Amino acid sequence: MNLVIVESPAKARTLESYLGAGFSVQASVGHVRDLPRSGLGVDVEKGFEPEYVTIEGKEPVLRKLRAEAAKADSILLATDPDREGEAIAYHIVEALTARKRSLRERFRRITFNEITKNAVLAALEQPGEIDLPRIEAQQARRILDRLVGYRVSPLLWKKIKPGLSAGRVQSVAVRLLVERERERRAFRSGTWWRLRAHLAANGHVFTADLAALDGVAIARGRDFDERTGALKSGRKVVLLDRERAEALRARLADATFKVVKLQEKQSKRSPYPPFTTATLQQEANRKLNLGARDTMRIAQALYEAGHITYMRTDSVTLSEAAITAIRSRVAARYGEEYLSSAPRRYKTKSRSAQEAHEAIRPSGTDMRTAAELGLTGRQKALYELIWRRAVATQMADARLRHLNVHVDAEEARFRAAGKVIEFPGFFRAYVEGSDDPDAALENQETVLPDMREGQALENRKLESRKHETKPPPRFTDAALVKELEADGIGRPSTYAAIISTVVDRGYAVRQSKQLVPTFIAFAVTGLLEDHFPNLVDTGFTSEMEEALDEIARGNVDWRAYLGEFYSGGNGLEARLVEREAAIDPREASTVRLQDLTPRVRIGRYGPFLELERNGDRLTASLPEDVAPADLSEEQAIDLLQKRAEGPDRLGEDPDSGEAIYLMEGRYGPYVQQGERTDGRKPKRASLPKNVQPEDVSLAMALKLLAMPAPLGTHPESGDPVKVGIGRYGPYVVHQKDFRSLAENDDPLEITFERAMQLLSAPKTRARRASATPLREVGAHPDDGESIAIYKGRYGPYVKHGKTNASLPRGTEPDEVTLDMALDLLRKRKERDATRKAGGRRGGPRKKSSRK
């Protein structure tokens, strides 16, 4: 019997369908060993020797693999063909042979770039050995990440705020976001005006824009200085303001518009290379609105199902078999005229690209469509994107005709530009930035009527138009991936995790598709720039990636490289010792923004404003939704002034006599009854979303503070029906049965009858969606009840009866086996039992002497 070990259950199921009898295919469910989650896990004194441990929850998986390996004549390691897959294979061998070294002779390594029957069977014919230099490169990367994360992060805790983290690539990505936000804050908008003429030739209307006056070009966006908003020095252009533009428009209203020049030229557009990991993430973000992590998750599922080639690659090469298959599909679907005259072969420019991998394309040689595969939803959308991009590579160039028309009216020259697609070529399959090529073809064309030089045109309308320069855009997932790849930072396969970490750690928040850095990101980046500049330098980080590539090629000793990075005279260890005493925590936790008098400080409960005035220290919390580039001087002073003046006093509570205040907090405006004293927290209530602070009266405040307030008595139970405003918005409740109010329901005005309508309707709250499991794992052997995986607020978890157990970090729901689920549930019950018995050590808790 032959044992084949892969890393995912989905991949195992696909291989089982190909191999049949004589083969047992088992999944390791990702990594089985790693550095410990707590502590450095690296013995620096012993040549950076890693201290690997079995990952929590993986012992049942290893037991099963050991049992299968003991029966197998040969053991084939078929994990992914990259460094991470190589590392998984290596650690499987180490874990399975720790007690039985003789098993080592049975292990062989096989790799394939696509999970198709032909590719798998071909790999079986050419088994090899584990690539040790690639293991060393992966191990060096993990240790580098540990050294940076576990040595620098505690410094951030001491100097800025507990819970912060630094990362070898993460910190560089955060700095890119911060630098862009600094540019936006420094930006000054420039304004100019132009005229647009609506002209007609032979009855066909088109538009032309003012380009020059008396032969001098009209100012455009590129003529303005981004930091001053004024024209750049030395620019010979005409700057029109509103008054001059309006005067010119009035004067040209009756002028004769005449064609003075026609320029026509032909151009060609060639198709883009097939997808790499980075370009797939960028296009999926632009076209499908998918984040990098979602893109990789969907692509992983497509790969494991055998639909696409390996999705972690920076190569744009295509196999000869793939080129032949694509060209055959193009001829059949679009016609011979849409084929390129010769096969197109793409060459990867990056020196570090892994040419052993192909680009991302549909697997096999059938080039089946999403419909033929029966795909739906996001898998269908992403597969179609990959299919169209791959097909376009072997299609003919698109041919375009451009027409520039110059029109004069007195001293003013107007220009109109037209573009016609004479032959769509690869546009028929793929247009970048659009998910509908046919619609995109129409949008790409600007058709101008036939004209001749000297022809007089009819002036239908003249309008003046204001233009403003725009600040540099914030990064989206796509833009950040593009920047990281261009700078040679990280690997394409890690970009999704990097972006998720940046958001999860509070260094950026998502607004629409933009990644907006937080004030904490500014403070951390500032400290690293001042004291550890190498750690946030794109060039230095790129050199580290090149060094890891050299280790993978066997050209650099990994221990020597780590020693130079960490233990050398200018290494990280010495720098940490030198700088720790020099860093002032107050200065490190202070953010000074351009053109802002108050300082921003990072406090225990978040960022706040601070200003010294007449010997007094004024402070005020910053609203959560304020971006660093958007915080104005007026807004900051207003927040400080309001805090200094104290809250608005609306009146007194007639029952208690306590003052009722209207206040502004980090999460928005709220009302408060009484004042905070030692040991007493005053009652507070947030304002409903549709209520403005200036509209709040004493009566309204008392209503809000009384919530949850009774509306009436339930006719069946006799218990009260109440209305309230909670963390997730306004609601009505009866006997712990909560129902959210509709968007047009006012919690201050809702009637008992309306509350009963809501309570009698079936529940439709989004949080109830978790009642539908993400996946059924199997039946529990003790009682036969179902074990399933659900989506929870803090991530996926496994559930059996009333017992819930979170999945280990990095474990996907599809990777969980029944044995793994049982082990997680067992450990959760043991932890619960330990707590009930009286603490971590298992002994009884001492009763407190305090009453």
CB of 814 within 8 A of CB of 825? no
Residue pointed to by tokens 């998502």: 510
Strand 659-665 and strand 668-673: the pairing is: antiparallel
Residue closest to 749 by CA, chosen among 704, 782, 713: 704
User: How far apart, in whole angstroms, are the C-alpha atoms of residue 808 and residue 796?
Assistant: 9
Amino acid at 102: S
Q: Look at residue 160 and give its three-state secondary structure.
A: coil
Fill in the DSSP letter of residue 566. I
Q: With contact defined as beta carbons under 8 Å apart, do 87 and 135 qualify? A: yes
* Active-site residue, selected from the candidate residues 52, 90, 303, 310: 310
DSSP, collapsed to helix, strand or coil, labels residue 759 as helix
Q: How far apart are CA 128 and CA 125, in angstroms?
A: 10
Beta-carbon count within 10 A of 436 CB: 11
Place of tokens 């060993």: 33
- The number of beta carbons lying within 10 Å of the beta carbon of residue 175 is 23
* Integer CA distances (angstroms), 282 to 18, 355, 508, in order: 33, 21, 19
The rounded Cα 72 to chain-centroid distance in angstroms is: 43
Distance between CA 343 and CA 790 in Å, rounded? 48
How many Cβ atoms sit within 10 Å of the Cβ of residue 716?
7
| Coil, strand or helix at 127 | coil
User: For residue 586, what are its two tokens?
Assistant: 């107050």
Task: Give the separation between CA 570 and CA 418, rounded to whole angstroms.
Answer: 60
C-alpha 274, offset from chain centre? 22
CB crowding 176-191: b at 16 or more within 10 Å, else e: bbbebbbebbebeebe
Residue spans of alpha helices (H) in 706-817: 752-760
Count the Cβ atoms, other than its own, within 10 Å of residue 648. 16
The CA-based dihedral angle spanning residues 10, 16, 17, 21, taken in that order and rounded to the nearest 10 degrees: -170
**Residue 536: φ, ψ to 5°:** -120, 15
Q: What angle do CA 266, 272, 278 make, to 5 degrees?
A: 145
Contact between 287 and 435 under an 8 Å Cβ cutoff? The reply is: yes
Strand ordering across the sheet containing 737-740: 709-713, 720-726, 729-734, 737-740
Query: CB-side exposure of 753: number of CA atoms within 13 Å?
Result: 0
Rounded CA-CA distance 688/175 in Å is 37
Would residue 310 show up in a list of annotated catalytic residues for this protein?
A: yes
Q: What sign for the dihedral angle of Cα 489, 494, 496, 502?
A: negative
3-state DSSP percent of the chain in helix, strand and coil, to 5: 40, 25, 35
The span from the CA of 621 to the CA of 635, in Å, is 12
The type of residue at 175 is R
Show the DSSP H helices in 619-743 as ranges.
Answer: 633-645, 698-705
Measure the N-to-C terminal CA separation of the chain; round to a whole number of Å. Answer: 68
> Helices 477-487 and 495-504, interaxial angle, to 10°?
120
β-bridge pairing 720-726 and 683-686 = unpaired
- Residue type present at position 143: I
Q: Which two tokens mark 529? A: 């720039």
Give the residue numbers annotated as catalytic, written as ranges.
310
